[in-house]
Amino acid sequence: MSNYKRIFKDGYSYFITIVTQGRNPILIECIDQLRYSFALSKKKYAYTIDAIIILPDHIHMIITPKNSNEYPKIISHIKRSFVYGLDGHYKDNAKMTLSTSSYNRKLSGIWQKRFYEHTIRDEKDWLEKIQYIQHNAVKHMLVDDWNDWQYSSFVP
């Protein structure tokens, strides 16, 4: 059992990474549904997206929630809304890859169960995470220049 504890401090920002199950590259294919999932979460929770990049199989973002205790709920809401809105084709393919125990626990097979979170502690930390997000499509060899990746908050 891990003794990892999330930090909940109002006024702080959080660097979040969400990954699809098995690194399934469906996020760009389903970008409209993903955008709709974010819109739904923004109606329910008060938070800003300070920076974001969406790659085929994962998302990096910095969010600043009004209520820090809600950021896990925000992530959960985005993930659930995305799954609920997907075509049956995506859901069926994802369920076929689930283990019996995951299927019995009613996991969707679309997202990894957990997400990565890092509390931004100072300006240096903030700038490092911004640069990481900004250059992530280049790191993954999707584009040669970060300006060319249209699924990011850094699009010129």
Orientation of helix 31-44 relative to helix 71-85, angle to 10°: 140
Catalytic residue among 47, 71, 90, 151: 151
10 contacts 67 by C-beta, under 8 angstroms: yes
Which residues of 47-152 form beta strands (DSSP E)?
47-54, 58-65, 116-119
Tokens of 92: 């069926």
- The reply to whether 151 belongs to the active site is yes
Q: Which of 136, 130, 144, 109 is nearest to 24 (CA)?
A: 109
Tokens 């790191």 belong to: 139
Q: Which of 75, 73, 67, 56 is nearest to 15 (CA)?
A: 75
Q: What span, in angstroms and rounded, lies between the C-alpha atoms of 52 and 63?
A: 9
Which positions are annotated as active-site residues? Answer: 151
